[in-house]
Amino acid sequence: MSLSANYSSLTSWIEVPEGSDFPIQNLPFGIIRINGGKKRVASRIGDNVIDLKTLFVLGYMENLPFEMEDFDSDSLNRMMRKGKQGTRKLRERLLKLFSTGSADLKNHEHHVNQVVVPIDQVEMCMPVEIGDYTDFYSSREHATNVGTMFRDPDNALLPNWLWIPVGYHGRASSVILSGEAIHRPKGQQKPAEDQNPVFGPCKLLDFELEMAFITYDGKALGDSISTEEAEDYIFGMVLFNDWSARDIQKWEYIPLGPFLAKNFASSISPWIVTLDALEPFKVDGPDQQPEVLDYLKYRGRKSYDINLEVLIQPDGGEENSVCKSNFKYMYWTMAQQLAHHTVNGCNVRSGDLMGSGTISGPTPDSYGSMLELAWKGTKPIPMNDGSERKFILDGDTVIMRGFSSKDGVRVGFGEVSTKVLPTK
């Protein structure tokens, strides 16, 4: 269902700078702290945040299915438990209050001064309490590239890949917010086939360009969510850098898959963009052959046109764009991922995080990891300062940005930015 907030002609009485990711058509949700106070729920328009707790206290949330505690909270989980219809009604109310021509709030300057806060006066906080985190492996181009490098180029995809959205359960405790630095991980690596493993700092540290979706409460244990229902259980999306230690992973992943190579950190952007805000940017998904099993079939458009970029900033240096990709390249859609995740009766809960898997496009400049961009280190990526990168070095900051654009409206995610510090 498209909301009126998606119409390209709408504007807000709050100034929105040209090229902003956050016009009134977006209205994302996040958690803020003002002047060191308590955390609370907020939205954003342009370079200002909307304090939803204060908006509630001042009486602008009447006849909505929320209580003050839903906004006076250090996570969005309470608010999300009102489900799709609840958060949709909330966005519609915000749209009404902040649209050009609406005077209900605008004419009360003393209220506006309490509710509208410049972004530079705000500390962004982790938006959700993540109970569980699942990471998928859903880019055909990425899976093909990795299979070509490490297995048989003529049989790059494993036999199950075109039949199921492959995934694994990750570590929720080490999901961190944009701006928080990480230390280079350490672990076992195997220098050569005829040598014993050694222990030490990761030598092949990599980013993974991903997006992630965050769920509402799902169905009861034992019940499944269909592809038709799936988007009713998805609250919204964030940018997601799922860090990877390639040399540690190569040694440990057989027979059970990633462990220490993946659980040291995963970085997310602070604003959650709802599926309602992304509705105008739906596109057809890729042709899926062989034909998928019935529970994975879907009708209509379930893919999203979201432009993505990765940049590397050396310590004290300039940003270097190393990748431009798009979420629409994903082979398996979010609806299929959630349907597969729950088809065995697995229950999902409010705040669960589902990573897309590395998003690689069809051209070398759209590959979503250094493993692919530098092709196992054989094609180093030049930086503006004359250095080059095969993988990520200490002092580097990896920045990911994403936005959708159509009919003059840009709906974006801001960025996820993480600096790499030396091993502890």
CA separation for the pair 199, 188 (Å, rounded)? 4
Cα–Cα separations (whole angstroms), residue 204 to 163, 219, 243: 31, 40, 11
142 is annotated as an active-site residue: yes
Q: Which residue has the tokens 């059970």?
A: 256
Q: Which residues contact 180 (CB under 8 A, 6 or more apart)?
A: 267, 418
Reference 326, options 400, 417, 418; nearest CA is 400
Q: Please list the helix, strand and coil fractions of the chain in percent, rounded to the nearest 5, in that order.
A: 25, 30, 50
Q: Check 108, 110, 142, 183 and give the catalytic one.
A: 142
Distances from the Cα of 193 to the Cα of 196, 247, 251, angstroms? 8, 13, 10
The kind and range of the H/E element at 246 are helix 246-252
Q: How many angstroms from the chain centroid is the CA of residue 143?
A: 20
Instruction: Round to whole Å and give the CA distance between 113 and 109.
Output: 6
Q: Which residues are catalytic?
A: 142
